[in-house]
Amino acid sequence: MLAKKWVSFALAAAFMLCAAPSARVARAEDTIKLGIHGAQTGDLAGYGIPALNAAKIVVDQVNAKGGVLGKKVEILQADDQCKPELATNAATKLISDGAIVAVGPTCSGATKAALPLYMDKKIVIISPSATAPELTQSGKYPYFFRTIPTDDAQARLGTDFVLEALDAKNIAILHDKGDYGKGYATFAKKAIEESGKANVVFFEGITPGGLDYSAPIQKIGRSGADTLLYGGYYPEASKLATVIKNKGLKLNFVSEDGVKTSNFLQLAGKEGEGVYASSNRDFSDLPMHKAAEAAHQKMFNAPSGQFFFTAFAATQALLNAVEKAGSTNPDTIAKALRTEYADTVLGKLRFDAHGDAEDVGFAMFKVVNGAYVDQKFRTQ
C-alpha cells in the first residue's frame, strides 16, 4: 500500500512539474506587459521619472477603455540610473519578467548597452530621450524606435541659433565626455567650422560629478569666446552657469534638452537666467497635450518634467501599434509603427524606415524669470 501511495505521489508531483510552465505561460498572457526602462533613481532620475509617470497615465487611460487586444496592460519597471553598466541588468530584468514591448531607455549610452539584449529577443522598444544618431542610423537595431530627434539635428539647431540669432563669432564648446554630450558637441563643432561664419576657439571635455568647474570656465574666458555651447546634463550645466555668473563673464550659454528641465532651474536658481536650451517643439496647443498635463497634475500633484510628453507619445504609439498589429508579434508591431499613424500628444505620429519619428523637431528656449520661454527658433 505504501509503495502504491509513493508511486501516486510521484506521478502527481511529476504532473505538477510538467504543468507548471504551462500555467506560468497562461498567466503571462493574461496581460500585455509593458517594460519601462530608464533612470528612475540617481542624479538623472529627473529624466526617467517623468517618462515612468507618462506611461502610468497612458496605461490607466488605455485600461479604462478595455486595454489592448482585450487584455489589461501591466507596467514592469527597471532602473539603470542612465549608466551603461546597469543598463544590461535592467534589460535582462524586463526580459526575464516577460515584457512584450518597452519604453526607454533614457540615455544614449545606456540605450547602446541595452539594445543588443532587446534585439536578440525581438522586443520592440521606443525611447523618448536617447538621441545618439547611430542608434537608428546604423541599421543594427530594427526593433528600436524613438520619439525625439537626433543629436545632429539638435546640434544643427544650436549652431544655427548661435550664428544667426546671437551672431556669435568666437565659440567655445564644452561637453561631458558621454555619448550624448560629446556627440552633440562634435556635431556642433563640425557645423560651425563648415559654416565659415565663426571660430571654434575652445573644445574640451569635463568629468561629470565635479564639485567645481572654475578651471575650464577660466580657460574659456581667456579664449575670447562670446558664446559657450555645452553638451551634457543639467547637474553639470547648473554648476557651469553658476561659475560663469560668479566670475562676471559676458558669455552666451547655449545647451540642449539635457538642460531644458525644471531640475536645472532649481539647481541653478538665479544664475540660470539667460541660459538657452533646445528641446522638443512646443505642442501645448493640442487638446490631448493639455489633457496629459492636467492628468499628471491630478495624479502626481506636480507639473510634468522633461521627456514626459515624448514618453507619453512613445507609450501611445507603442500600444496603438500592438492593437493595430492584432498580435504581439514583434515584426507585425514594428511594421505598424512604420505604417500606421497614432494620435499622440505630439500630434499624429509614425516612424520612418530607420525608426525615427516623422515630423518632430527641436525649438530653442531661454530662461526668463525662472522659466523656459520659447524663442520661436526651430527646426523640422
Q: What is the pTM of this model?
A: 0.80
**Per-residue confidence at 232, pLDDT binned at 50, 70, 90?**
very high
Predicted local distance difference test score (pLDDT) of residue 22: 35
Q: Which of 277, 244, 283 is nearest to 373 (CA)?
A: 277
Q: Is residue 85 part of a domain?
A: yes
Residue 327 has pLDDT above 70, yes or no: yes
Predicted local distance difference test score (pLDDT) of residue 380: 53
| Residue 135 shares a structural domain with residue 161 | no
Q: Is residue 168 part of a domain?
A: yes
* 124-127 and 101-103 strand pairing: parallel
Residue 21 has pLDDT above 60, yes or no: no
| Residue 131 shares a structural domain with residue 164 | no
Instruction: Report the C-alpha gap between 40 and 48 in whole angstroms.
Output: 5
| Residue 203 shares a structural domain with residue 314 | no
Contacts of 169 (CB under 8 A, 6+ apart): 198, 199, 226
Q: Which of 96, 145, 141, 104 is nearest to 122 (CA)?
A: 141
| Residue 121 shares a structural domain with residue 178 | no
Q: Is residue 301 part of a domain?
A: yes
| Residue 340 shares a structural domain with residue 322 | yes
The grid coordinates listed for 265 are 532651474
Domain that holds residue 41: 27-148+284-361
Q: Which domain CATH number covers 249?
A: 3.40.50.2300
Residue with the three cell numbers 526651430: 378
User: For 52, phi and psi rounded to 5 degrees?
Assistant: -65, -45
What SS3 state is found at 343? strand
Q: How far out from the chain centre does Cα 229 lie?
A: 21
| Residue 178 shares a structural domain with residue 247 | yes
| Residue 144 shares a structural domain with residue 179 | no
| Residue 232 shares a structural domain with residue 337 | no
Structural contact between residues 208 and 179, judged by C-beta atoms closer than 8 angstroms: no
Asked which of 13-17, 148-152, 175-179, 369-373 is least confident by mean pLDDT, the reply is 13-17
End-to-end CA distance of the chain: 81
Q: Is residue 11 part of a domain?
A: no
Q: Is residue 267 part of a domain?
A: no
Q: Which of 188, 181, 180, 130 is nearest to 161 (CA)?
A: 188
Q: State the average pLDDT over residues 311-316.
A: 98
The grid coordinates listed for 311 are 514618453
Contacts of 7 (CB under 8 A, 6+ apart): none
In degrees, to the nearest 5, what angle opens at C-alpha 218 toward C-alphas 216 and 219?
Answer: 65
Q: Is 81 left (phi over 0), alpha (psi -120 to 50) or beta?
A: left
Residue with the three cell numbers 522586443: 123
The grid coordinates listed for 358 are 516623422
| Residue 39 shares a structural domain with residue 141 | yes
More confident site: 28 or 246: 246
The continuous run of DSSP H or E covering 126 comes out as: strand 124-127
Structural contact between residues 156 and 138, judged by C-beta atoms closer than 8 angstroms: no
Q: Is residue 352 part of a domain?
A: yes
Instruction: Report the C-alpha gap between 183 and 256 in whole angstroms.
Output: 12
Residue 6 has pLDDT above 50, yes or no: no
Predicted local distance difference test score (pLDDT) of residue 42: 96
Residue with the three cell numbers 497634475: 297
Q: State the average pLDDT over residues 68-74.
A: 97
Sign of CA dihedral 28, 34, 38, 40: negative
| Residue 290 shares a structural domain with residue 143 | yes
| Residue 166 shares a structural domain with residue 235 | yes
Q: State the average pLDDT over residues 5-11.
A: 39
What SS3 state is found at 79? strand
Structural contact between residues 180 and 134, judged by C-beta atoms closer than 8 angstroms: no
Total structural domains within the chain = 2
Q: Is residue 279 part of a domain?
A: no
Residue 318 has pLDDT above 80, yes or no: yes
pLDDT > 70 in the chain, percent: 92
Q: Is residue 49 part of a domain?
A: yes
Q: State the average pLDDT over residues 97-102.
A: 98
Q: How far out from the chain centre does Cα 72 lie?
A: 25
Contacts of 186 (CB under 8 A, 6+ apart): 175
Residue 9 has pLDDT above 90, yes or no: no
In degrees, to the nearest 5, what angle opens at C-alpha 160 toward C-alphas 156 and 161?
Answer: 115
